[in-house]
């Protein structure tokens, strides 16, 4: 029965001998880049090369949360652009991305955290992103299930409330973008591994895949957690990235209980209730580099303990599934987006850590502009690879905590 269903993006195309651009990695960033290359820049002779299947990596393993309440003034506008794109793309792609802007509630558990929240909210308001500081009582009004008791490990002082954020159906975004890109003529080559990038006199000339050689003047690597390994292995270019395993899980379905995404830095927990009623919750990362996506009992226990402290009604609820994914962390918790440096025609879009999902569509659009015109869009300029040697690290600390193995 299932075998008769054709993919939305058509049958697997034959790999051509030449493309105007080859995008390595079949995740959201590259599918969005391919879509916008074709749609806004008329570049339709483009291939997306994916070793496994589209949406295998972070695109299919995240907890579907989107928001624009980051810390730095360089980051916030990029995430805001992405947030504004979801309803627009739903129409454009004629595919329901199930964007539910239920709002995000970040719990704060100390006066210091409240101060940080006030700084974040100021940045957001300055940049036109709606965000508020709430005290404990107001937070409880939004999320009645919360436990305001002083008798827990991290009592709740208040929260940062960000109404425009929420959740988007991650698989729908993969399928919708793949459908949109394929319709415009992009070749999505699954089960095709990029094995080499050929260069001549400082210029990209082609890509070798498991299906043969492609000649192309432009290559982008944006393969989530695998990007840094691919770039270091194929080009010998080392990046300031550590790849860590991050785990998530869902409970059995429950009656409606949470109307917002609720997260807590101190407890290392973020959770939301899916449309099916499951509580989807993410844990933090094993603080050492890993390419495994296996799960560990340690985090299942941790999530259960943390969740039931501030949402005591979840006691006794069972976890149904757990999974792991990869996060490519940079020292300043901000991504690396760069092009034509050190090689002409080579572009990279990586180091997204666990934020890549939220920003994928806007980033794809800007990277498409960068690849098509050769001019770096203003929005992406602060994210240059050279910022590390210039000692201009970003300090994007709105992340729940500093998760890199450097801490």
Interface with other proteins in residues 99-158 (CB under 8 A): none
* Minimal distance, residue 347 CB to other proteins, in Å: 18
Interface with other proteins in residues 229-268 (CB under 8 A): 229, 232, 238-243, 245
121 membership: H or E segment, kind and range: helix 111-126
Do the bridges between strand 194-200 and strand 166-167 make them parallel or antiparallel, or are there none, so unpaired?
A: unpaired
Distances (CA, A) of 191 to 23, 52, 99, 211, 292: 14, 5, 30, 9, 20
Q: Which residue stretch of 12-20, 196-204, 222-230, 255-263 sits at the interface with other proteins (rule: CB under 8 A)? A: 222-230
> Total binding residues for other proteins by CB under 8 A?
30
Q: Which is nearer to other proteins, 139 or 290 (CB)?
A: 290
Angle formed by the axes of helices 28-41 and 356-373, nearest 10°: 40
Q: Which is nearer to other proteins, 332 or 369 (CB)?
A: 332
Of 142, 172, 173, 184, which is closest to residue 159 (Cα–Cα)?
A: 142
Interface with other proteins in residues 289-328 (CB under 8 A): 289-292, 294, 296-298, 328
Strands (E), 42-173: 46-49, 65-66, 104-108, 132-135, 158-162, 166-167
Per the document, the length of the chain is 407
Contacts of 110 (CB under 8 A, 6+ apart): 154, 157, 266
* Minimal distance, residue 351 CB to other proteins, in Å: 11
Among residues 52, 171, 288, 341, which is the contact residue for other proteins, using CB under 8 A? 288
Asked if residue 210 binds other proteins (CB under 8 A), the reply is: no
The sign one gets for the Cα dihedral 21, 353, 365, 30 is: positive
Q: Which residue stretch of 80-88, 90-98, 286-294, 315-323 sits at the interface with other proteins (rule: CB under 8 A)? A: 286-294
Quick check: 146 and 310 in contact, CB under 8 A? yes
| Footprint of other proteins (CB under 8 A) | 226, 228-229, 232, 238-243, 245, 286-292, 294, 296-298, 328, 331, 388-391, 405-406
């Amino acid at each position: 029965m299932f075998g008769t269903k054709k993919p939305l993006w058509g049958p697997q195309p034959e790999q051509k001998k030449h493309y105007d651009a080859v995008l390595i990695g079949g995740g959201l960033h590259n599918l969005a880049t391919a879509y916008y290359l074709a749609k806004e820049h008329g570049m339709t002779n483009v291939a997306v090369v994916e070793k496994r299947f589209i949406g295998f990596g972070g695109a299919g393993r995240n907890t579907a949360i989107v928001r624009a309440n980051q810390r730095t003034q360089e980051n916030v506008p990029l995430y805001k652009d992405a947030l504004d794109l979801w309803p627009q793309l739903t129409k454009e792609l004629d595919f329901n991305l199930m964007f539910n802007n239920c709002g995000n509630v970040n719990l704060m558990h100390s006066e210091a955290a409240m101060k940080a929240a006030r700084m974040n909210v100021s940045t957001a308001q300055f940049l036109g992103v709606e965000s508020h500081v709430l005290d404990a009582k107001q937070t409880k009004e939004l999320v009645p299930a919360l436990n305001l008791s002083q008798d827990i490990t991290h009592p709740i002082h208040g929260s940062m409330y960000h109404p425009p954020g929420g959740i988007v159906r991650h698989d729908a975004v993969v399928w919708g973008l793949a459908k949109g890109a394929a319709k415009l003529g992009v070749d999505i080559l699954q089960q095709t591994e990029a094995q080499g990038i050929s260069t001549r006199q400082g210029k990209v000339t082609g890509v070798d895949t498991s299906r043969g050689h492609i000649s192309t003047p432009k290559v982008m690597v944006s393969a989530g957690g695998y990007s840094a390994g691919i770039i270091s292995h194929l080009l010998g270019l080392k990046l300031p990235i550590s790849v860590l395993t991050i785990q998530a899980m869902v409970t059995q379905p429950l009656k409606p209980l949470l109307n917002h995404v609720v997260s807590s830095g101190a407890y290392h927990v973020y959770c939301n209730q899916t449309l099916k009623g499951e509580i989807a919750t993410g844990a933090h990362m094993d603080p050492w580099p890993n390419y495994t996506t296996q799960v560990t009992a340690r985090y299942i226990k941790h999530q259960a303990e943390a969740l039931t402290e501030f949402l005591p009604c979840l006691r006794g609820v069972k976890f149904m599934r757990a999974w792991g994914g990869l996060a490519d962390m940079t020292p300043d918790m901000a991504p690396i987006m760069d092009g034509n440096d050190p090689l002409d025609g080579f572009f990279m879009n990586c180091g997204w850590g666990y934020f890549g999902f939220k920003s994928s569509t806007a980033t794809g659009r800007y990277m498409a502009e960068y690849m098509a015109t050769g001019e770096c869009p203003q929005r992406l300029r602060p994210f240059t690879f050279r910022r590390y040697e210039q000692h201009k690290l970003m300090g994007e600390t709105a992340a729940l905590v500093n998760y890199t193995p450097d801490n």
